[in-house]
């Protein structure tokens, strides 16, 4: 359509009607109908100037050519034009809505407005993209600068809740985003070759590269000479780790390497030294996953049995030739025990339990219980661990210096940066046989407690598969994920029976380390206090019922499968497990660590 004359526009339409319509509608009636149809959308220059011509076609029937002089097109009309400025459509002259519907899309005067609007939208989107790109670039620059310095920061302190939730969301969803953005072949290959990067990290930890770089940057040649390593191979390992933010090449491409934020935790003098965790991850844990495929066969033992010649993991640790691995495990589990103690005391409201008595079931050396009693003077504690009865994977409490020495601990591997997210491999709380280093630590810990704390703890030896002493609150820290459901039901049944017991006779002192659960259930003294009612508290991994599982949680679940035959559980699986053992899940409290605190009450 083009202007007929200056200041005027002419709307041209070709209306195709059938032969019946041509016979039924006169030319004047057609003109009136056209005017009535277009009037709501355009101002007509003059109704008398509306031109209507009709021709016939053997196939199409009546063809009406309409020319409407338009003074102004109203904003409501929108119709795309063809290259000739025409609109062609089939029209039944008795259907008054058809021209109206078609004309509603058309506006000769507004096409230019649409183009301007589209240009403005495009400019706004482009500006937003540029600003977003600039923001991302600024954030990346800040992160690179922030992560470029060797630091002694104590990363053991928990981050603020908003930052922790952000980290958890990134860990959970970033791998999915990366997988969507790259070809599936790339994702599969990167995942399949992930072991290469973890073993590269294992190698530089074994060599002590971070300690060698503690004094400052070194060229690859000098670094290799000091370590007695091959220059080219070492440079390639460090180059691969630099892509994950561990070590830095300064300047890039120079072949000179330095510690940074990522590699600082590999120094032996760092307050959060992760070398023990990484040596364990690249050693026993790596070997434990080697037979994962074969272990999937029905009736096959956990994969670790193939690596150890048929020995359970903690029996293997107890062999004389594995003393170094045992000591390394002890150092790691003490660190994790300290981390978990700090998180539990900070993130859970223990004040709501008043003067209750808490039984730490399989509580190890009792570090957490000691700190809890120190912070809560009104509470009392019962520390339960196993006496020497020869049961696999259960630490045997012993009487040493007038106190029970107990040890059940956990291990969480340090995070390993991968292409898509932070990958953490875990070995968790294990029920151990009696081992001198742990016994000594437990004896030392309780000997150092103030009299006001030691007087409120009761040390009991026993087997939590068989019986658990009565208390207001029973706590299971990182225990149940070591076991399949059948064994967990046995443990929970013993706890349920302990909660059902109305009284016990254990005095709140630390004089008789020979006490056991049976003597605790007889006599007149009671271990219950006044609190918020009987509770079962479980500290463990809670996997999501739906949606992606974070890499940390997924790795933990696989680690339980590979080493111990245990498993991680979803919220619904926890609910079902508790219901089957006589408990009702009432709450899941988040903690600023990979675990949650599950609260249950007797059903």
- How confident is the model over 474-492, as pLDDT tens digits? 999 999 998 999 999 999 9
The H or E element spanning position 361 is strand 357-361
DSSP E strands in 58-200: the ranges are 61-73, 87-90
- Shared domain for 418 and 338, answered yes or no, is yes
Backbone angles phi, psi at 52, to 5 degrees: -130, 125
- Shared domain for 571 and 524, answered yes or no, is yes
* Cβ pair 375, 453 in contact under 8 A: no
User: Could you tell me which residue, 364 or 570, shows the higher pLDDT?
Assistant: 570
User: Could you tell me which residue, 22 or 398, shows the higher pLDDT?
Assistant: 22
Give pLDDT, residue 197.
94
- SS3 of residue 484 by DSSP: coil
- Shared domain for 228 and 350, answered yes or no, is no
Q: How far is Cα 436 from Cα 445, in angstroms, rounded to an integer?
A: 14
402: in domain: yes
Chain centre to alpha carbon of residue 357: 34
The H or E element spanning position 495 is helix 485-500
- Residue 297 β-bridge partners: none
Q: How far is Cα 314 from Cα 311, in angstroms, rounded to an integer?
A: 8
pLDDT of 570 over the 60 cut = yes
- Shared domain for 130 and 171, answered yes or no, is no
Backbone angles phi, psi at 318, to 5 degrees: -80, -5
286: in domain: no
89: in domain: yes
Using CB atoms within 10 Å of the CB of residue 99, give its burial: 0 to 12 exposed, 13 to 18 middle, 19+ buried. buried
Give pLDDT, residue 447.
82
Cα torsion for 129, 135, 140, 142, to the nearest 10°? Answer: 170
Using CB atoms within 10 Å of the CB of residue 204, give its burial: 0 to 12 exposed, 13 to 18 middle, 19+ buried. buried
pLDDT band, residue 14 (cuts 50/70/90): low
Q: Which is nearest to 253 in space by CA: 268, 244, 242, 266?
A: 242
Flag the least confident range among 150-164, 255-269, 332-346: 150-164
61: in domain: yes
Per-residue burial over 173-197, b if 16 or more Cβ lie within 10 Å, else e, is ebbeebbeeeeeeebeebeeeeeeb
152: in domain: no
Contacts of 461 (CB under 8 A, 6+ apart): 384, 385, 386, 387, 397, 404, 406, 513, 514, 515, 516, 517
pLDDT of 585 over the 80 cut = yes
303: in domain: no
- Shared domain for 215 and 268, answered yes or no, is yes
pTM value > 0.85: no
148: in domain: no
Record the tokens describing residue 591, joined without a space.
């903690």
Domain span at residue 20?
9-108
CA angle 313, 319, 320 (to 5 degrees): 150
Record the tokens describing residue 25, joined without a space.
């509608």
- Shared domain for 418 and 320, answered yes or no, is yes
Total count of domains within the chain = 4
Backbone angles phi, psi at 425, to 5 degrees: -100, 140
151: in domain: no
- Residue 381 β-bridge partners: 358, 457
Query: pLDDT for 544-562, tens place per residue?
Result: 999 899 988 998 899 888 8
Give pLDDT, residue 115.
78
């Amino acid at each position: 359509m083009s202007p007929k004359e200056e200041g005027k526009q002419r709307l041209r339409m070709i209306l195709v009607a059938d032969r019946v319509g041509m016979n039924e509608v006169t030319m004047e009636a057609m003109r009136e109908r056209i005017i009535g149809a277009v009037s709501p959308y355009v101002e007509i220059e003059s109704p008398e100037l509306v031109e209507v011509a009709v021709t016939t076609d053997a196939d199409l029937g009546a063809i009406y050519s309409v020319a409407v002089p338009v003074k102004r097109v109203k904003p409501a009309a929108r119709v795309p034009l063809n290259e000739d400025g025409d609109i062609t459509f089939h029209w039944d002259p008795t259907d008054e809505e058809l021209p109206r519907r078609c004309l509603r899309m058309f506006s000769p005067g507004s096409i230019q407005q649409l183009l301007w609007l589209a240009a403005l939208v495009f400019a706004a989107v482009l500006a937003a993209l540029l600003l977003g790109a600039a923001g991302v670039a600024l954030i990346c620059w800040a992160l690179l600068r922030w992560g470029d310095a060797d630091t002694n920061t104590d990363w053991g302190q928990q981050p603020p809740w908003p930052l922790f939730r952000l980290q958890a969301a990134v860990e959970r969803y970033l791998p999915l985003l990366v997988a969507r953005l790259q070809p599936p072949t790339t994702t599969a290959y990167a995942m399949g070759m992930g072991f290469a990067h973890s073993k590269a990290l294992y190698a530089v930890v074994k060599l002590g590269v971070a300690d060698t770089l503690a004094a400052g940057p070194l060229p690859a040649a000098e670094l290799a000479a000091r370590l007695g390593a091959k220059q080219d191979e070492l440079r390639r390992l460090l180059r691969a780790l630099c892509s994950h933010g561990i070590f830095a090449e300064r300047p890039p491409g120079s072949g000179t390497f330095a510690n940074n934020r990522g590699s600082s935790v590999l120094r032996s003098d760092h307050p959060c030294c992760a070398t023990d965790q990484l040596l364990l991850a690249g050693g026993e844990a790596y070997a434990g996953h080697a037979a994962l495929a074969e272990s999937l066969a029905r009736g096959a033992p956990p994969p670790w049995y193939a690596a150890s010649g048929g020995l359970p993991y903690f029996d293997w640790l107890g062999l004389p030739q594995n003393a170094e691995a045992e000591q390394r495990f002890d150092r790691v589990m003490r660190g994790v025990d300290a981390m978990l103690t700090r998180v539990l005391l900070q993130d859970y409201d223990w004040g709501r339990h008043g003067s209750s008595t808490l039984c730490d079931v399989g509580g190890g050396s009792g570090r957490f219980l000691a700190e809890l009693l120190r912070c809560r003077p009104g509470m009392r504690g019962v520390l339960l661990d196993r006496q020497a009865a020869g049961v696999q994977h259960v630490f045997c409490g012993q009487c040493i210096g007038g106190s029970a020495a107990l040890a059940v601990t956990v291990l969480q591997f340090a995070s390993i940066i991968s292409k898509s997210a932070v990958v953490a491999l875990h070995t968790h709380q294990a029920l151990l046989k009696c081992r001198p280093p742990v016994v000594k630590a437990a004896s030392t810990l309780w000997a150092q407690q103030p009299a006001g704390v030691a007087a409120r703890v009761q040390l009991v030896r026993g087997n939590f598969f068989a019986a658990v002493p009565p208390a207001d609150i029973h706590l299971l820290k990182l225990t149940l994920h070591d076991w399949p459901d059948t064994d967990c039901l046995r443990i929970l049944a013993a706890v349920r029976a302990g909660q059902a017991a109305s009284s016990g006779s254990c005095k709140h002192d630390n004089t008789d380390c020979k006490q056991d659960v049976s003597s605790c259930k007889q006599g007149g003294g009671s271990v219950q206090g006044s609190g918020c009612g009987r509770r079962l508290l479980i500290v463990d991994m809670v996997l999501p019922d739906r949606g992606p599982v974070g890499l940390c949680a997924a790795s933990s679940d696989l680690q339980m499968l590979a080493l111990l035959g245990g498993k991680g559980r979803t919220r619904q699986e926890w609910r079902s497990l508790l219901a089957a053992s006589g408990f009702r899940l009432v709450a899941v409290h988040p903690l600023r660590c990979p675990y949650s605190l599950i609260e249950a009450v007797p059903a």
